[in-house]
Structure 1
Amino acid sequence: MGDEEVLARRFEEHRGQLRAVAYRMLGSLPEAEDAVQETWLKLTRTDPDAVRNLGAWLTTVTGRVCLDLLRARKARREEPMDDTFVPDPVIRPLTRTDPEQEVLQADSVGLALLVVLETLQPDERLAFVLHDLFAVPFDDIAPIVERTPAATRQLAGRARRRVQGATPSADVDLGRQKEVLDAFLAASRGGDFEALVAVLHPDVVLRVDAGALVRDTAASKVVQGAKTVAAQALTFAQYARYARLVLVNGTVGLANAPEGRPLSVMGVTVADGRITHMYILADPERLEHLDLAGVLGD
């Protein structure tokens, strides 16, 4: 086995974590893959014998690559998106029922957290993601953000307070989540307005991202209140019969692909038996990157 093949095999052992880091940093599945690939290229240009801890080295390099991407977004004033932005969801078949096992999945970070991360400054996001989510020491993060370890700790602390203050509480039991989504689907398919209102929290927030091409139209929106959101759900009741339960970022959600054509993916936050937050991605361009047919078995 050649040296390059050995190096590639060692890299593959860490790919899952690197993809998880990049996804949390960028909220975009294609960009996360690009960042991991860039990390691999940087590794091939480095003397591996000089790297004492390959996993730690790869994680920090991936973080640096993602930080550069986030800074470039900010410079172009393309990101963060407005209030309607929904990060790329990770879709899996609804085959596992043990929530503890789902939490162990590298990409099971909730959409609610990703939405909050989008509001952070790039340096804050890096410090929080690497330290709080992947236990990277501040001494290793500091050189990336060009700050002292103490200042880097402050960055992470500031980010942590914003995350804790904005991330909604959620029921992690997949069985209870499924009961709520089943009730939501039944009410939608039956056109039952009162049943829809009953399954929604009075202050439920619906966020719909229809994509950059139609972001200035009514298709992308933020709507609040059970009756208002229920009315919106009934507007699309004709498509509810195509919706299927799936795992969206580790929690029960819905994927909608009538006649095999990806239409939308919805992630939700469930608390106390009702839906408190709904995140719908209906961007045709980004939906093309999701393997909905494979997940739905179509």
Structure 2
Amino acid sequence: MDIGIGLPNTVPATEPARLLDWARQAEGAGFSTLGTIGRLVYQGYEELIALSAAAAVTSRIRLTTSVLLAPLHTNAALLAKQAASLERISGGRFVLGVGLGGRDDDFAASGLSTKGRGRRFEEQLQEMKQVWAGEERGFAGGIGPRPVRDGGPELILGGGTEASFRRVAELGDGWIMGGGSPDMFAQAAAGVDAAWRDAGRSGTPRKLSLAYFGLGPNARAQADGYLLDYYGFLGDVAGQIAGSAAVTPDMVKSYVAAFEAGGCDELIFVPTGSGPEQVELLAEAIA
């Protein structure tokens, strides 16, 4: 199983230089990917821009939106162009992870309704794949640039419902769980695999998951301070999410073992702080 690390793009007060140093550190430490989480109404950096900056200071590590809230991007052709641009600029390292999103304030701020977002999401995915395939749209031809990877950037879809699993099988290359226990992952992954087989797809979908972490002397306070704020709109559930964060090396190791046993192909540890020691501490914990 590959082990990735999140870029602290949503951690408040993270300075731009810290993002770039974090990306360099993560690549030097051997992590498989730099992930980002997405939200509009919060103090954080937009994912595609943050990963573009990371692409400029790295050369090997994958760059994954884990996930970007696609329905907020109503111009699917433009989103396809942005994704293809980042994928080509990074030499094919970009992985587009997308999900529906569920926060009313993000949609309200975008002038959108949450109703019908599943249908709009599928239409977006179909249009983006047509753009990446080079479909002509006007006198000048198709919408470029042409992606490095045939068919466009690797497309990973989030969601935990049967409809989400069907979308993965019909339109995606893989699936990602945005949060939850290893047991929850294994159960949902079985549903993804079943939908994949039912759709007549060959091989198996790539399956990813996220897990929050914070390490060091003040790990618990750091995790609580960030996650209780970030997920405050969920009420008591925010405390459960904060409590699940890996705040010791033993917790990190147990998550790695359990997710790997559950069939996870890549586990991305999302930071709850942006201190310069966090990358090194996580690398030591999984060594």
Quick check: TM above 0.5? no
More helix by share: 1
Computing the radius of gyration from Cα coordinates, the structure with the larger value is 1
TM-score for the superposition, normalised by structure 1: 0.28
